Amino acid sequence: MPKALHSLLLALLLLLPLAARAAGDADYFIAAKPNEQASLLQGWAAQPDPARLELLSSLQQGRLGPDDSRKLRLNNRLRGLVDNALASHRLLSDDARVRLAAAQQLQKSAQPAQVAFLDRRFASEPDAAVHAALGLALANLQLVATDPAVRLAAVRLLGETGDPMARTRLESLLDPSVETDPTVRTAAETSLAQVKRKLLIGELLGQAFSGLSLGSILLLAALGLAITFGLLGVINMAHGEMLMLGAYSTYVVQVLVQRYAPGALDFYPLLALPVAFGVSAGVGMLLERTVIRHLYGRPLETLLATWGISLILIQAIRLLFGAQNVEVANPAWLSGGLQVLPNLVLPYSRLVIIGFALCVVLLTWLLLNRTRLGLNVRAVTQNRNMAACCGVPTGRVDMLAFGLGSGIAGLGGVALSQIGNVGPDLGQSYIIDSFLVVVLGGVGQLAGSLWAAFGLGIANKLLEPQIGAVLGKILILALIILFIQKRPQGLFALKGRVID
């Protein structure tokens, strides 16, 4: 204990003059002209001093110090230099994550004057990831070194990254007037090919991932649709509005939590899940009882009636919440992302949604295959009359299944609110794609919906960069039309022997 106290005192004593000097730096900085400020910052970046850390972080926020109210004007160039100097100082931090972020920043912004400092840190860096990142930052700078051997080593090092920055640097080296040494140029070509291959892998993985993400949303949207279509033989045109109701329920929950329990704001999406399920399922069951059950046996009319319902729901939401999008914020644990490759970041929100969609499928599967209700639903789907004869209360089953399908869409709405805009037209943009999922996947089959949703999602996103989003959609539609030539009942058809 006394030892700790001792070192604390010592640190305080040491800090006193440093603090004074830092304050002096601030005065000096604000008095200088922009050009002088720039060279000042460059000097600081080349020779970092822990005492300036506070000043630089304040500068980054446009102030001179935490309690300093003097006005500060920085232009873009100065702001860039501040960021660079700050990164340079943060390399001295004890936290490896801070050092890593700083090294990555320096890969983009380091100046030749910082070579000596970076070299020293590179030699003494204990953490492997930071070491590699620093090596790259250094390599970027060494590309302009006078010694061809140093340049050659730097070019080879750059070839091992998959960084978009490295590609532009290497491309500039291919010009004989920039790089005079032919061996370095050849090495640059090889490195460039390596970098491009890595970037391509990253891009393809990124597209596949956004495809998975779109697929999981389509899955949540189409799952309920497939169940009700299989059961009742009707397409619920208001199904997209169930997504919208779910998203708006999330918004309302967020507002309420903000007002009454701001401490729990981080967990509002979890609270929104049951609320959205309840709201959508309730509205769905109400619709089934009041409108849809009167139209059994007339599927085309049901389609029109549910379209009417969707118009009313959209307009009601417009009158209640306004025609503009409402703001649904991501909680902290859903923002940010997982950096897999230099050009591939997987956002946490999308990862969570993919997992969530799979959980919902699993639960639905359990519900349909392991419960009494599920047994009834499957029985009615296969043969309504026979099920009724065996004592299945078909009316109640219809209502509950309709509620279940709508509730799943409501859950999809919660997921959508975390990655997209929430507006009255939200459902309309997903509904046609989810119809196609049902057509492609066949009715009443979870596996069909699963494959069709992810297949359509990935196909959409892979085609998008090659031929554009619109042509991709049209091509997919044409493919689906051709596909159902071969298999009119979708991917997974229920075998039945009913004919009219």
Partner 1 sequence: MNQPLLVTATQKAGPRLTLAVGALVLLVLIALPLLSLLPAGHSLQVSAYTLTLVGKILCYAIVALALDLVWGYAGLLSLGHGLFFALGGYAMGMYLMREAAGDGLPAFMTFLSWSELPWYWAGTQHFAWALCLVVLAPGLLALVFGYFAFRSRIKGVYFSIMTQALTFAGMLLFFRNETGFGGNNGFTNFRSILGFEITAQGTRAVLFLLTVALLAGSLYLGWRLARSKFGRVLTALRDAENRLMFCGYDPRGFKLFVWVLSAVLCGLAGALYVPQVGIINPSEMSPTNSIEAAVWVALGGRGTLIGPLLGAGVVNGMKSWFTVAFPEFWLFFLGALFILVTLYLPRGVVGLLKKRGEQ
Pick the closer one to partner 1 by CB: 307 or 321: 307
Report the nearest approach of partner 1 to the CB of residue 286 (Å).
13
Pick the closer one to partner 1 by CB: 32 or 480: 480
Angle at 117 between CA 112 and CA 123, to 5 degrees: 120
Report the nearest approach of partner 1 to the CB of residue 441 (Å).
13
Q: What separation in angstroms does the CA of 35 have from each of 11, 50, 76?
A: 35, 24, 13
Could you list the residues that contact partner 1 (CB under 8 A)?
229, 233-235, 291, 294-295, 298-305, 307-312, 314-316, 318-319, 432, 435-436, 438-439, 468-471, 473-474, 477, 480-482, 484-485, 488, 499-500
Report the nearest approach of partner 1 to the CB of residue 24 (Å).
58
Report the nearest approach of partner 1 to the CB of residue 147 (Å).
50
Pick the closer one to partner 1 by CB: 225 or 253: 225
Q: What separation in angstroms does the CA of 393 have from each of 379, 389, 443?
A: 11, 9, 21
Distance between CA atoms of residues 22 and 193, nearest Å: 47
What is the DSSP-derived secondary structure letter of residue 489? T
Q: What separation in angstroms does the CA of 52 have from each of 11, 35, 230, 444?
A: 16, 20, 68, 66
Report the nearest approach of partner 1 to the CB of residue 226 (Å).
13
Pick the closer one to partner 1 by CB: 295 or 375: 295
Report the nearest approach of partner 1 to the CB of residue 114 (Å).
46
Report the nearest approach of partner 1 to the CB of residue 402 (Å).
16
Provide CB contacts within 8 A for 383, sequence distance 6+: 496, 498
- Residue 227 in contact with residue 405, Cβ under 8 Å? yes
Pick the closer one to partner 1 by CB: 365 or 483: 483
Report the nearest approach of partner 1 to the CB of residue 486 (Å).
8
Q: Decide: residue 39, CB within 10 A, 0-12 exposed, 13-18 middle, 19+ buried.
A: exposed
Q: Decide: residue 279, CB within 10 A, 0-12 exposed, 13-18 middle, 19+ buried.
A: buried
Distance between CA atoms of residues 41 and 89, nearest Å: 11
Output the CA torsion 43→45→46→47 (10° steps): 90
Provide CB contacts within 8 A for 283, sequence distance 6+: 242, 245, 313, 406
Q: How far is CA 105 from the centre of its chain?
A: 22
Pick the closer one to partner 1 by CB: 265 or 312: 312
Pick the closer one to partner 1 by CB: 198 or 239: 239
Pick the closer one to partner 1 by CB: 42 or 489: 489
Pick the closer one to partner 1 by CB: 299 or 393: 299
Report the nearest approach of partner 1 to the CB of residue 113 (Å).
46
Q: Which residues pair with 422 in a beta bridge?
A: 326
Pick the closer one to partner 1 by CB: 47 or 315: 315
- Residue 42 in contact with residue 80, Cβ under 8 Å? no
- Residue 398 in contact with residue 288, Cβ under 8 Å? yes
Report the nearest approach of partner 1 to the CB of residue 484 (Å).
6
Q: Is 326 strand, coil or helix?
A: strand
Distance between CA atoms of residues 317 and 436, nearest Å: 26
